[in-house]
Structure 1
Amino acid sequence: MNALRTEAAIQARRQATEEMLERLRTALAALARDHAPVTVAALARTARVSRTFLYQNQQARAIIEQTTRSSRTPSAIAASNRTQPVWKERALNAEDALARAQREIRTQRTHIAELLGKIRDLEHDLPEGSLQRLVTENTTLKQQARQLTQENQRIQERLASARQNNRFMDKRIADLEAHLAPYLTAPSTPTTP
């Protein structure tokens, strides 16, 4: 029974590792396609794996080394030169989008200024005590929002820590099961009275 569980745990670990290696290959291809620098942080983020996995797993290190070595070949450099017009076109499109965004920002600022003027006009019509009450309520709501944000951040940190502890414990259990597997599957020796 324990041997089956151990084998199942080992198989699940192998499958998870293969899935992470496949995500790593996909991330390397995406970074190469986008001509982005290949860094451990970028790979970990894109492949949704830990940096520790990238450093400790020999297959992952081999894949990264092989990919970065093959990306420096003359054919890869020639392919990069062929894609330069595409990047120039993207840069021009980005400049046009930036100009449109700046025009939109100016329009929005003008609209905001008009609305603020209307708010000031409405404030003059409010009774004197209601303005102070609104300011107090607004301050209270901002404090509550700040507190909720801090609480949410604390909970997120706890969740991340719990997940990390869980991953560590899973690894430790698998290691212990693998260590105990020979003792559990060894034939028992008969004892004589």
Structure 2
Amino acid sequence: MTVTPQEEHVRNLREDALRAHDAESEFWTQVNQGALDGGTLAIKTAFLINGGAALAVLGFIGAVAGQGRIGDADVQNITSALMWFTSGVALAGFSTGAAYFTNLATAAMSSSKKRLWEHPYLGPPDRCYTMLRTLFLAVAVIAGIGSMCLFVGGMIDVKHSVSKMKLVVPSAQKAANATTRTRGALARRPHFIL
């Protein structure tokens, strides 16, 4: 059976269309995986940095306040930094949710493209999914950047709170310091031989 030139042309168009469809699917898969990996890493970093900072501040407060070395006003000043860090953790969580919806909208956007049998072989994506993807992507990025900014704000707050702190020397340590000073003064006193 001989194939007419027109039938050959239609078959070539069909093969070109299938290659274009496969290329679009492969492109989407690779880009989506890269975006997922990068976004996941950034969000995990924001969680870890803010959560770790909050735990460090709590540990510091517990250690110093447990020894009775700072007053209530100093504890209150340094705990304000916890609000910065916990807000950073909350924004990182919000960023995670927005990243999920970004990926969901990207998948819907890609699947909404009509597969055509003529050049360009793919129709435009649904505008609604494109707008949703852009919105969720912007929210995820802004929340991620906001989380990191809250970390910086918390660190600045910790620095100011610690620099204003008035450490109290416990009474047992005061007595030990006084004894050391007295011994040092006696050791430096000249001895006279009579």
- Relative to the length of structure 1, the TM-score reads 0.30
Q: Which has the larger radius of gyration?
A: 2
- Relative to the length of structure 2, the TM-score reads 0.30
Higher helix share: 1
